């Protein structure tokens, strides 16, 4: 009865008309029942991004809470992880690259969805702040389902059957690539993963624009540079302010993004002398179609 009473205190509040929900009144360090777990998953799928407020996790407790949402998967960037918890990666503006220089933090400052080069990319990306600057540094999320629905019909017809060939880093992006990832890609000789440019949500049946520009080697039938220009034009046409939610973090926020319907990007509008550090966890998804 105590478990159900805790679940019944949960409140869901819509944040914007087209995107975002806030959840309060629940502590994910405590057990929750199957119905509450399903409701949380449904809220993410419906609203594209969900923030659960007021959590007080250690890294291990954060991982346990994330496991309520499905099977966890490794981040493909293995350089910064929590000691003893290889499924919890660390995003920090104080990280260094392999040469000891400040890491290039701007690489995810453009719209993307995570790990499109994997056969089963993450369905959810989860972020939990550990240290925050006084202001700024938010994460922007766009409802790409709404963006697809609002496209002119000629754009829909043009892109609906397009396929992307995805790798760790597009050859058109090599000049600004992370050298460690680029080296691994060159040595691996792994063939690109073919993905749909317009993805169908496996639970809702809705369609969304879906790609990671820096991981798209090409759209089938296009050259790499042509592909990059085309994707820029598509984003410029599709993304509108009403479809975007910018999450300004507070300590205790557990942010969950449904990658199957969303693109997101990091914000770097903060004082970089101040520490910004987040824990990130990925939940494995299905094969996109």
Within a domain: 59? yes
Within a domain: 216? yes
Write down the H helix ranges in the chain: 2-8, 34-47, 59-66, 144-149, 153-159, 179-188, 224-238
Picking from 158-167, 178-187, 188-197, which range would have the lowest pLDDT averaged per residue?
178-187
What does the pLDDT look like over 103-149, one tens digit per residue?
554 445 789 999 999 999 999 999 999 999 999 999 999 999 999 99
CATH number at residue 87: 3.60.130.10
Average pLDDT, the chain: 91
pLDDT surpasses 50 at 2: no
How many domains are contained in the chain?
1
Q: What's residue 104's pLDDT?
A: 52
Within a domain: 61? yes
Q: What's residue 164's pLDDT?
A: 98
Within a domain: 289? no
243, with CB counted inside 10 A (0-12, 13-18, 19+), is buried
Q: What's residue 106's pLDDT?
A: 46
Within a domain: 67? yes
Q: Is the pTM of this model over 0.95?
A: no
User: Structural domain of residue 77, as residue ranges?
Assistant: 2-284
Within a domain: 179? yes
**% of residues, the chain, pLDDT over 70:** 87
């Amino acid at each position: 009865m105590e478990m159900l009473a805790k679940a019944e205190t949960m409140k869901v509040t819509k944040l914007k008309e087209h995107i975002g929900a806030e959840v309060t009144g629940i502590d994910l360090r405590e057990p929750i029942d199957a119905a509450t777990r399903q409701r949380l998953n449904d809220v993410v799928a419906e609203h594209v991004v969900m923030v659960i407020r007021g959590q007080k996790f250690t890294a291990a407790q954060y991982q346990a809470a994330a496991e309520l949402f499905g099977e966890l998967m490794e981040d493909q960037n293995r350089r910064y992880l929590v000691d003893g918890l290889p499924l919890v990666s660390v995003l920090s503006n104080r990280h260094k690259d392999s040469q000891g220089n400040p890491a290039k933090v701007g690489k995810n400052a453009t719209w993307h969805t995570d790990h499109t080069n994997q056969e089963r990319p993450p369905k959810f990306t989860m972020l939990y702040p550990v240290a925050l600057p006084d202001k700024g540094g938010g994460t922007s999320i766009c409802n790409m389902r709404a963006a697809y629905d609002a496209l002119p019909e000629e754009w829909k017809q043009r892109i609906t059957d397009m396929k992307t060939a995805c790798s760790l880093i597009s050859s058109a992006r090599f000049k600004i690539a992370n050298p460690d990832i680029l080296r691994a890609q060159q040595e691996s000789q792994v063939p690109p993963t073919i993905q749909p440019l317009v993805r169908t949500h496996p639970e809702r049946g809705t369609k969304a624009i879906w790609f990671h520009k820096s991981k798209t080697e090409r759209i089938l039938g296009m050259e790499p540079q042509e592909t990059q220009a085309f994707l820029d034009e598509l984003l410029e046409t599709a993304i509108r302010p009403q479809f975007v939610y910018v999450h300004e973090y507070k300590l205790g926020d557990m942010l969950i993004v449904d990658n199957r319907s969303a693109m997101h990007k990091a914000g770097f509008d903060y004082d970089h002398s101040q520490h910004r550090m987040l824990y990130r966890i990925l939940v494995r998804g299905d094969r996109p179609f």
